[in-house]
Chain A
Amino acid sequence: MTLSEQQIERYSRHILLQEIGGRGQERLLASKVLIIGMGGLGSPAALYLAAAGVGTIGLVDGDAVDLANLQRQIVHHTADIGRRKVDSAREKIQAINPDVTVRTYDLWARASNIREIVRQYDFVIDGADNFAAKFLINDACCFEKVPFCHAGILQFEGQLMTVIPWRTACYRCVFRSPPPPGSAPSCGQAGVLGVLPGVIGSLQATEAIKYLLGIGSLATDCLLVYSALTMEFRKVHTGRRADCPLCGSNPTITTLMDDGPAGCNRKD
């Protein structure tokens, strides 16, 4: 692949970086990232990965844009209310960067469909809004050996962890299984600061880019916790667990299973 004159100018601030250069930019253009959830986390991740020139971006979401999304889901505009989220996001990505090929999956991630999608990508961003989907993404990525970056947000707090399956701690090494229904509030019930997913989703995009380029170090074997109220980041160190039900030495989870409904506050 040779960069065109337009690409040299578009990506000039990347090319200038010793850690990226022309080779790194070509690598990004040849890379494929899947974003599951086109909401608060997926929005900045999609916009920055598109701007960065990640060549193929897959978008998974089975929802339509709602007025209450717009306070934080910045990929969607007021005129998009009622439209499919994946269509709304695809349009913005292509407007930012025509170099990017967008593949859309207008569906909910389920045990029956997610593995075959995940395996077509180099890296996955978990922008799901519910525990069942987060465990499903973890399990699917581990089975398919696709690295991913988990994140979650609520009120003023966010957390993030990157997983290199079978090498670093997975989501189930830290959190065994989804909490019982009703025991943990959703963003719809507890509220969330609109800019919070902007911070955390951008960090997820940063992890994806670093992984694709093989530079720096990733937020693996630790949970990065951010408080917007106190403006503090802290790292809770962890590691792979021998008794992890998924990636431990005697796994009890050997196949994908749906742990509940596909999305936050929705029945299907």
Chain B
Amino acid sequence: MLTPSEPRVHTLDLRGVPCPLNLVKAKLAIESIGVGDVLEIELDEGEPIQNLPASLGRQGQEIIGTRKRENHFCVTVRRKL
């Protein structure tokens, strides 16, 4: 029986990378993974967490969730296109 392959989970640490360079790097990482795959992005609080998920969403990617870690956030994105 054929089963669809599980989406692969990739990670990207963008802590310490300022806006808008973090968005540029997130875009490049998303380009490099397969459609349907998931990218977990570690992000600083403040501007990065305020801007980046919304920007990726506007570009058509799916934001699955945002989790608060100790001093930062982890955003999970699925590549849609």
Contacts and interface: CB of A to CB of B under 8 A. Distances in A.
Interface residues of A, number: 10
A9 B23 CA distance: 11
A8 B31 contact: no
Interface of B is mostly: helix
A23 interface: yes
A6 B36 CA distance: 29
A8 B59 contact: no
A21 B23 contact: no
B23 A23 contact: no
B31 A16 contact: no
Given A21-B31, A22-B31, A12 B59 contact: no
Size category of the B interface is 10 to 19
Contact of A23 (B31, B59, B60): B31
Contact of A3 (B20, B21, B28, B60): B28
Contacts of B27: 15-16, 21-22
Contacts of B69: none
Contacts of A16: 20, 23-24, 27
Interface in B2-47: 20-21, 23-25, 27-28, 31-32
A15 B20 contact: no
B59 A15 contact: no
Q: Which of A8, A18, A22, A23 has the most CB of B within 10 A?
A: A22
Nearest to A15: B24
Contacts of A3: 28
